[in-house]
Every structure is written in structure tokens, then in C-alpha cells.
Amino acid sequence: MTIQPQDMVLIVCDGNSARSQMAEAMLAAMSKRRFQVRSAGAHPRDRVHPLAIAAMDEVGINIRNHYPKPVHIFKHDPVKVAICVCDEASAACAAMPAHIEKLHWPIPDPAKATGNEEEQLRVFREVRELLHEKIREWLSQQQ
């Protein structure tokens, strides 16, 4: 499948506060913005998780101005691919129109990490690296 500049890749998770926000910014950067990238949540939280912001800052990607959005606001947008990064939001992805390619990447929720802040940040870093690998692999398959 070839994704055109007018097409959108929508990354969906449950809260749109960590994984999908990280993936949105990373995909936009790695693809050199050759298509639109957005993220949304089935049940959006009230803010982006501070440790997601910190983990992305470490690799030079700023998500400080990102905010959680509900998936339904993109129903009229030119979504070509929906990437669901958690099991909790799989119903939201499944409910999208049939013409949208749907991918499922079951990524652990770093917001559920326990321990002190450094231990939790380590989990956010692991998720960031997992997302990087999945995105790199997916981009290599795009024409």
C-alpha cells in the first residue's frame, strides 16, 4: 500500500496519553512528515503522561503541546491506516470503516508501571524503543 501526502495514519489506544502520543510523534518524525499522522483514544485521559513527555524529550522529540483526543473526531478525515497500539482500544479500531487498513500492535501500557519515578521512566523508555522498532519495520514496508 502506498500512503499519499493527503492520507492519514491514525494511532489509537485507550487513553491517548502515552503510547499513541509517543507513536504519533515518532512516526511523524521518522516518515519525515510525508503523510498526516494523528493519535486518538477510545477513552481519552485529561493530559499526556509526564513520563511520556520525558521519554520523548530524551530522543529530541517534543510532545509537550500534544493533548488527548477522542477517536470519533477523525471520522470524516482521510484515514487510510489505523494502528491500534493496545488491546483495550481494539473495539474502536474494529468499528472504523472497512476501507481503512487496521493494524494491531499490542504494546504494554507504560502508565501502569510501578516503582519509583526512575523505574517507571525505564518502562516508558522500553515502550518508546518498542514503538521505534515497530514503526521502523512498518515504514520499511511502505512504498
Catalytic option among 86, 96, 130, 131? 86
Amino acid at 48: V
Helix-helix angle 117-140:50-57, to 10 degrees: 60
Nine cell digits for residue 72? 470519533
Catalytic option among 10, 11, 12, 13? 13
Catalytic option among 37, 55, 83, 93? 93
Q: Catalytic site residue 93? A: yes
Length of the chain: 143
Do 127 and 134 meet the contact criterion of CB atoms below 8 Å apart? no
Alpha-carbon dihedral angle through residues 84, 101, 23, 123, given to the nearest 10 degrees: 40
Q: Catalytic site residue 84? A: no
Amino acid at 29: A
Can you list the pairs that 114-119 forms with residues at least 24 positions away whose Cβ atoms lie under 8 Å? 117/51
Which active-site residues does the annotation give?
A: 13, 86, 93
